[in-house]
Structure 1
Amino acid sequence: MTTPSDAGDTPRFQIYRAADASDYRETSCMEVTGLTDVITDGITRAEAAGASEGNVVKLLFAMPGMSLTYAWFKSGFPLPLHSHNADCLYYIVAGTLRLGTEELGAGDGFFVGRDVPYNYKPGPDGVEVLEFRTADTFDIRFLGKTTAFWDKTVSALEAERPKWAAQRPPHELATAR
């Protein structure tokens, strides 16, 4: 897989394999920016409440000016309001999510422009999405600026966390039915 650190020239053809994907925590493709004391404390408390157990995010492919990410957010995962400094096109592989008043499912998607704040809530079986970005490196800027915002996020994590250990990705549930 081409990664931002070894990218160089744009490949003309390349195969990538899901089995070779890197966990986001092992890459440098996404930098957290705009941190304040409140946001840093909120992220720390969210991690302690199980945030990393509620999602799987992997970099499938990256080359200069483009990347593809797989993300599985487990049921009820409270994805905090945030933005990125790159355009992103989302495609729902399996499961459902609520985006504002809209419920989206497999085959649906949405576009989020650079620096546009957004969040969504995974459905009862969680959601698997592919994220196509116009950059191989980008930022994430959490926009919850108050302790009350992070208190709500932490409470949601604590409420949902017990359900996650036994959850399987929605695409596995669909094939088992």
Structure 2
Amino acid sequence: MATNTSELLGAAAPPTVAVVRAISDDQLDLPTPCPDYTVRDLANHLFDVVVNFQVLARHREVDWSTKADQLTEGWRERFADEAARLVEAWADPAAEEGASPGMGLPQRTVGLMGLVDLAVHGWDLARATGQSYRPAPEVTEAGHRFMDEMGPMGRQMGAFGAEVETGPGHTELDRLLGRCGRDPAWVR
């Protein structure tokens, strides 16, 4: 049985997994739209996201300070496997119930946080490595709902940069990126 969160994560994972699979070793030191993060840094962070949000789906706390280089032999396929496990973890209806013990947020909000990380960082990595990226419309729509609810608090806590203004002619993805502090026109 799928939950709304798992369906959204299931729609968000394939384009991000495709981007990760296409990152070449010689691109790992390139800059990204995330200030102070190289492709390697961001790929490691995104690996942590897909693993740690599995734990959060089980109503357990996560220690985000633990950092290890995940980009070892077979890392691209391991990332794809962990992304599939993330979708599976959120398919359990209990994953969406109650509040997160570590964050005190509704579990559905926590799931959307993982979704936004997966989508926005997928775009970051695509942009940094010269790939195209197009999330499913329902992913972008859910990202906007998340930002409506959590954007100001996230900005206050430093999770998002200052909002980048987008105007007419920008896509919904561009608008979401701007709300998350990304410049949709970023180039390296």
TM-score by length of 1: 0.30
Structure number with higher helix proportion? 2
Q: Which has the larger radius of gyration?
A: 1
TM-score relative to the length of structure 2: 0.29
